[in-house]
């Protein structure tokens, strides 16, 4: 068991995460702390960090180190970004922090910072090709990737803090200042279009997360999850125009916007708008990945930090970290997709539904982490709120509802996710048709012993007959599976017969 502390001394804030890693390399974030420092703010005429920010940053990291000691952290990895690398006295701050805390901070180059963001993103997202944008307080990093392989990086040494100050955007901006910022960005972004041939922009960092929270509240969006949300270009433009007409005090009242970002959000959303225009992006996908994730994966996988399969890794991580019965879950999932394949003539669904069933089978008992009572409710909650990575938001919500249906069809507020979220009108039918297959196969490993080895389905004369191949007496499992006959008949119109072979 290891506990790793990762400190990110950024231009706008200092962040600490603590990762708990067990003996199987299953990992879970147990702390996430942020303190706004604004190193990029109030630089003197020579670009030096001012005394107040200098001391505040050092004191904050000292506090974080003491917190790590209290939380039994075994190792601390610390990095600093644009504000420190660009300041003439940045090394003085690094030396001072080392003398005060014993922590050595690595000052990242712009390319190193962008690459760590790329690692964090491709290990945390189903998106395999696109252009990553990471807005910091003092820099902007772009990284293109194709089939999850890094292609190119471009770093701009300006960020949301420096732009807000340079163009006087912290309070209600003058239209001439907005125009000056937009013209500046258009000129700076002239050469970036060639980096994005797929018209998809993926944003990481606090500015994008703030945009997503504002968008969710405006739309009353479900699920209430930032990671993976996709925001159309016209909505980004509308939010930017709304915010740019407001005073700082008015922005403090904007639902979803944290107060610490109220003075930076016009600069941040303006940067997003102009970047989307420059690369021809029709929407922006927001990821909660960060350079801290990149640092963690370089620690976890030192030989090659890029995961071979994002979804498999994170599903296995959930199962192992929470101590679920992995063998049982794999048996249920395998039997479910076997039954799916054999019953294709009557359900007529394709590979995407099969994949959904496989994933739901692996995660259908995660709710027991909360309680086995009301398991369907807890399973739905866990899959909508736990860090579950590697699916689009639509896939995630569908998986959550299907996994929660392992004993009966359970679709609370489903239509709200269609009206205000990522689901499509036909998604309910998919889940309803898949639910009996999950329920039957869950019953066929009801004792968690693996007694049932195979299922053989035959469809004829209005009857679906399932022969159960077992290595020992499977009377308990077959009896439990027979409870599903009524529901199966209602959904498929076939009588269901389950018998030993």
- Say whether both 332 and 476 belong to one domain: yes
Place of tokens 């009588």: 495
Closest by Cα among 379, 449, 429 to 407: 379
Asked which of 292, 326, 352 is the last residue of a domain, the reply is 292
Give, in degrees to the nearest 5, the angle at Cα 52 between 50 and 53.
Answer: 70
- Say whether both 92 and 183 belong to one domain: no
Position 54 scores a pLDDT of: 84
Asked which of 88, 108, 128 is the last residue of a domain, the reply is 108
Dihedral in degrees, nearest 10, Cα atoms 401, 403, 409, 413: -20
**Is the pLDDT at 393 greater than 70, yes or no?**
yes
**Is the pLDDT at 426 greater than 70, yes or no?**
yes
Contact of 368 with 469, CB cutoff 8 Å? no
Position 46 scores a pLDDT of: 79
Question: What are the respective helix, strand and coil percentages of the chain, to the nearest 5?
Answer: 50, 20, 35
| Count of the separate structural domains present in the chain | 3
Position 121 scores a pLDDT of: 98
Asked, for residue 58, whether it belongs to a domain, the answer is yes
Position 51 scores a pLDDT of: 85
- Say whether both 369 and 485 belong to one domain: yes
- Say whether both 65 and 79 belong to one domain: yes
For the chain, the residue count is 501
- Say whether both 475 and 377 belong to one domain: yes
Could you tell me the CATH number of the domain that includes residue 11?
Answer: 3.30.420.40
- Say whether both 185 and 50 belong to one domain: no
Q: Which domain holds residue 19?
A: 2-108
Position 31 scores a pLDDT of: 97
- Say whether both 376 and 489 belong to one domain: yes
Could you tell me the CATH number of the domain that includes residue 448?
Answer: 1.10.3210.10
- The mean per-residue pLDDT over the stretch 102-121 comes to 97
* For the chain, percent of residues with pLDDT exceeding 90: 91
- Say whether both 393 and 484 belong to one domain: yes
Q: Would you list the DSSP string of 351-389? A: HHHHHHHHHHHHHTTGGGGT-STTHHHHHHHHHHHS---
d(CA 500, CA 464) in angstroms, rounded, equals: 14
Asked, for residue 30, whether it belongs to a domain, the answer is yes
pTM of the model: 0.94
**Is the pLDDT at 229 greater than 70, yes or no?**
yes
Asked, for residue 361, whether it belongs to a domain, the answer is yes
Asked which of 108, 134, 154 is the last residue of a domain, the reply is 108
pLDDT in tens, 36-61: 988 887 677 778 888 888 899 999 99
């Amino acid at each position: 068991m290891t506990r790793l502390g990762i400190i990110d001394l950024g231009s706008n804030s200092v962040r600490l995460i603590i990762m708990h890693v067990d003996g199987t390399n299953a990992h879970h974030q147990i702390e996430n702390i942020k303190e706004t420092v604004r190193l990029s703010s109030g630089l003197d005429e020579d670009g030096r960090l001012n005394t107040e920010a200098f001391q505040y940053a050092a004191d904050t990291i000292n506090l974080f180190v003491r917190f790590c000691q209290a939380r039994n952290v075994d190792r601390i990895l610390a990095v600093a970004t644009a504000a420190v690398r660009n300041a003439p006295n940045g090394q003085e701050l690094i030396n001072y922090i080392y003398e005060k805390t014993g922590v050595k901070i690595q000052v990242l180059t712009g390319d190193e910072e962008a690459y760590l963001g790329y690692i964090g993103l491709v290990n945390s997202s189903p998106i395999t090709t696109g252009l990553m944008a990471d807005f910091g307080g003092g820099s902007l990093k772009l990284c293109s990737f194709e089939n999850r392989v890094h292609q190119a990086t471009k770093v701009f040494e300006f960020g949301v803090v420096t732009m807000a100050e340079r163009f006087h955007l912290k309070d209600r901006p003058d239209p001439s200042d907005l125009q000056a910022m937009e013209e500046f960005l258009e000129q700076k972004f002239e050469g970036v279009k060639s980096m994005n041939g797929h018209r998809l922009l993926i944003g990481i960092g606090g500015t994008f997360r703030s945009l997503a929270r504002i968008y969710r509240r405006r739309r009353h969006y479900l699920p209430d999850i930032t990671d993976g949300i996709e925001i159309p270009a016209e909505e980004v433009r509308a939010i930017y125009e709304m915010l740019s007409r407001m005073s700082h005090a008015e922005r403090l009242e904007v639902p979803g916007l944290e107060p610490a970002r109220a003075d930076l959000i016009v600069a941040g959303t303006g940067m997003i708008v102009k970047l989307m225009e420059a690369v021809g992006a029709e929407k922006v996908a927001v990821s909660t990945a960060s350079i801290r994730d990149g640092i963690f994966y370089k620690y976890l996988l030192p030989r090659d930090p890029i995961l071979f399969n994002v979804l498999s890794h994170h599903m296995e991580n959930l199962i192992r970290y929470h101590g679920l019965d992995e063998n049982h879950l794999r048996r249920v999932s395998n039997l479910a997709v076997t039954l799916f394949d054999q019953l294709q003539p009557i359900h007529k669904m394709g590979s995407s539904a099969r994949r959904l069933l496989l994933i739901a089978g692996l995660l259908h008992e995660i709710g027991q982490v909360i309680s086995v009572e009301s398991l369907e409710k807890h399973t739905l909650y866990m899959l909508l709120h736990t860090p579950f990575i590697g699916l689009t938001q639509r896939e995630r919500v569908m998986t959550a509802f299907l996994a929660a249906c392992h004993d009966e069809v359970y679709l609370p507020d489903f239509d709200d996710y269609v009206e205000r979220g990522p689901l499509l009108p036909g998604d309910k039918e998919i889940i309803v048709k898949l639910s009996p297959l999950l329920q039957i196969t869950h019953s066929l490993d009801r004792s968690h012993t693996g007694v049932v080895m195979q299922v053989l389905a035959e469809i004829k004369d209005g009857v679906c007959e399932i022969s159960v191949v077992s290595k020992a007496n499977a009377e308990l499992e077959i009896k439990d599976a027979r409870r599903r006959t009524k529901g199966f008949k209602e959904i498929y119109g076939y009588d269901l017969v389950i018998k030993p072979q």
